[in-house]
Amino acid sequence: MADPTSLSPEMVANWDRVRQRLKKEIGDASFNNWLRQLEFAGLRDGRLNLTVPTRFLRDWVISHYAERIENAWKAECGARVPAQVQVRPVEAPPVSARDASVSEADLKDGRAAVSFEQSLAELGAQLDPRYTFESFVVGKPNELAYAAALRVAEADGVPFNPLYVYGGVGLGKTHLLHAIGWHIRKRDPSRRVIYLSAEKFMYQFIRALRFKDVMQFKELFRSVDVLMIDDVQFISGKESTQEEFFHTFNALVDQNRQIVISGDRSPSNLDGMEERMRSRLGWGLVADIHTTDYELRLGILQSKVQQLGSKDVPPQVLEFLSHRITSNVRELEGALTRVVAYSNLVGRPITLETTQEVLRDLLRANDRRITIEDIQKRVAEHYNIRISEMHSARRARAVARPRQVAMYLAKQLTSRSLPEIGRKFGGRDHTTVMHAVKRIDELRQTDSNLAEDIDLLRRMLET
Ligand code: ADP
Ligand code: MG
């Protein structure tokens, strides 16, 4: 990093004019909150080198002010230079005061140097830049939660308080909360949005108690425009934290500030949570995210493939994963990442076979115990043939095709190996099964009736 003392007087004057301009543009309050601590470290490698004391401020400045700073520089100095914001090395006490292991005296000293907004910002957790509304795939199971989240993010007022989003692990609750945060900050950088997990809330509160700093804690939390608490179930049973949360909650509602909460179950099912809190949480809009369905899983995988920029994942593999990895979206994404990484590493194309190989354990765990017998029965019913034809040696098209469909489904919907499947179809060879799978896969592309049959059968088998 450039030594600031080496800046020419001209540069220092330039930066001073840029600062004045920024202050005028965004107003004193925002300037003091976000840009006051910004320091200029010179022009280097064709970039405007800027530093701030914390990672949070860095991310904030980058996401909210980088363009504005570049414009201001251009207006004052004539050239457009990209801005680069970095965290400057820790200086004396202020920054280390964030560390819970420092002494009480250090903490007090340090805090004096830290602005109100900065403390507030650092009480929260950072938002993940990948979690936006744009990257959220909407389907039947999550459409209500999505619509409600978007509504909150786009409203100038408070459409419902609180918005309570709940659902099982890995279904997109955190993603939606972050999306709300990003969207609000983008629309109006002056709104104070704070996002944190209930656990972190609890930690901050306990720390405030320990350092006898409860006043500042209260003041900070009650000053926000939007408070988002993730995984609220974690404060079940923690009485003093619940109490504090309840008061914070009420204070914010009274001031008409937006609250967004997520949990893993409905408010009324939050055991270990005080009754008054449970009922309070249900006052606004309660939106549940249901478990994913096949279409949503497929949509998510397709969007993920696009993001990854990997073009060579065959549609059958995506379909296969959507059928077989049903537990949660995180696992689904993980499976795709593993398959893509594997193929990159060993330099082999992605096929159904490699996918099954790479994901063997995961697939077993997600096995929904559809049996080959179920498949044979359903397929025979569907094509109106006797179930014994699944085992027979007859080769007439009227029975051979349904048999191939059944083998294909057995491969897709169970974890049985080709020889195992062959055995269940009257002791056929594994190459016969392989041929059937390939043949049906090809036919599906051209024969829309067959494609529909298969879809239908699959659905019946899976419900
Ligand atoms: P939760 O907080 O409900 O446990 P997360 O929000 O952490 O779940 O989601 C787990 C992962 O799945 C994240 O990477 C998230 O981006 C992704 N995800 C979940 N639902 C969707 C969706 N509808 N569209 C895109 N990605 C999703
Ligand atoms: Mg979460």
Report the mean per-residue pLDDT for the chain.
Answer: 87
Q: Regarding the domain with residue range 143-289, which homologous superfamily does it belong to in the CATH classification?
A: P-loop containing nucleotide triphosphate hydrolases (3.40.50.300)
Is the model's pLDDT at 463 over the cut of 70? Answer: no
Q: Whose CA is nearest to atom 9 of ligand 1?
A: 172
444: Cβ below 6 Å to ligand 1? Answer: no
pLDDT tens for 340-371 read: 999 989 988 999 989 999 998 888 777 667 89
172: Cβ below 6 Å to ligand 1? Answer: yes
pLDDT tens for 379-436 read: 999 999 999 999 999 999 999 999 999 999 999 888 888 999 999 999 999 999 999 9
Instruction: Give the model's confidence band at 103: pLDDT under 50 very low, under 70 low, under 90 confident, else very high.
Output: very low
Ligand closest to the CA atom of residue 330: 1
SS3 sequence of the chain:
CCCHHHCCHHHHHHHHHHHHHHHHHHHHHHHHHHHCCCEEEEEECCEEEEEECCHHHHHHHHHHHHHHHHHHHHHHHCCCCCEEEEECCCCHHHHHCCCCCCCHHHHHHHHHCCCHHHHHHHHCCCCCCCCCCCCCCCCHHHHHHHHHHHHHHHCCCCCCCCEEEEECCCCCHHHHHHHHHHHHHHHCCCCCEEEEEHHHHHHHHHHHHHCCCHHHHHHHHCCCCEEEEECHHHHCCCHHHHHHHHHHHHHHHHCCCEEEEEECCCHHHCCCCCHHHHHHHCCCEEEEECCCCHHHHHHHHHHHHHHHCCCCCCHHHHHHHHHHCCCCHHHHHHHHHHHHHHHHHHCCCCCHHHHHHHCHHHHHHHCCCCCHHHHHHHHHHHHCCCHHHHCCCCCCHHHHHHHHHHHHHHHHHCCCCHHHHHHHCCCCCHHHHHHHHHHHHHHHHHCHHHHHHHHHHHHHHHC
141: Cβ below 6 Å to ligand 1? Answer: no
0.75 exceeded by the pTM? Answer: no
Q: pLDDT value at position 239?
A: 84
Whole-number Å distance, alpha carbon 124 to ligand 2 midpoint, is 15
Ligand closest to the CA atom of residue 178: 1
Domain ranges of the chain: 4-102, 143-289, 305-366, 372-462
Q: pLDDT value at position 350?
A: 93
333: Cβ below 6 Å to ligand 1? Answer: yes
178: Cβ below 6 Å to ligand 1? Answer: no
Q: pLDDT value at position 88?
A: 80
Q: pLDDT value at position 413?
A: 87
Q: Which of 41-45, 66-70, 336-340, 391-395 has the lowest mean pLDDT?
A: 41-45
227: Cβ below 6 Å to ligand 1? Answer: no
Is the model's pLDDT at 106 over the cut of 50? Answer: no
Q: Whose CA is nearest to atom 21 of ligand 1?
A: 172
Please determine whether the domains at 4-102 and 372-462 fall in the same fold group of CATH. Answer: no
CATH class of the domain whose range is 4-102: alpha beta
Task: Please report, rounded to a whole number, the percentage of residues in the chain having pLDDT higher than 70.
Answer: 92
Q: Which of 300, 329, 331 to mutate to test the pocket of ligand 1 (most atoms within 8 A of CB)?
A: 329
Task: Please report, rounded to a whole number, the percentage of residues in the chain having pLDDT higher than 90.
Answer: 58
Is the model's pLDDT at 100 over the cut of 80? Answer: no
297: Cβ below 6 Å to ligand 1? Answer: no
Is the model's pLDDT at 296 over the cut of 90? Answer: yes
Whole-number Å distance, alpha carbon 261 to ligand 1 midpoint, is 16
Could you tell me which residue, 386 or 45, shows the higher pLDDT? 386
pLDDT tens for 153-208 read: 999 899 999 999 999 999 999 999 999 999 999 999 999 999 999 988 888 888 88
Could you tell me which residue, 454 or 53, shows the higher pLDDT? 454
Instruction: Give the model's confidence band at 90: pLDDT under 50 very low, under 70 low, under 90 confident, else very high.
Output: low
In CATH, which of 3.40.50.300, 1.10.1750.10, 3.20.20.70, 3.40.50.150 is domain 372-462? 1.10.1750.10
180: Cβ below 6 Å to ligand 1? Answer: no
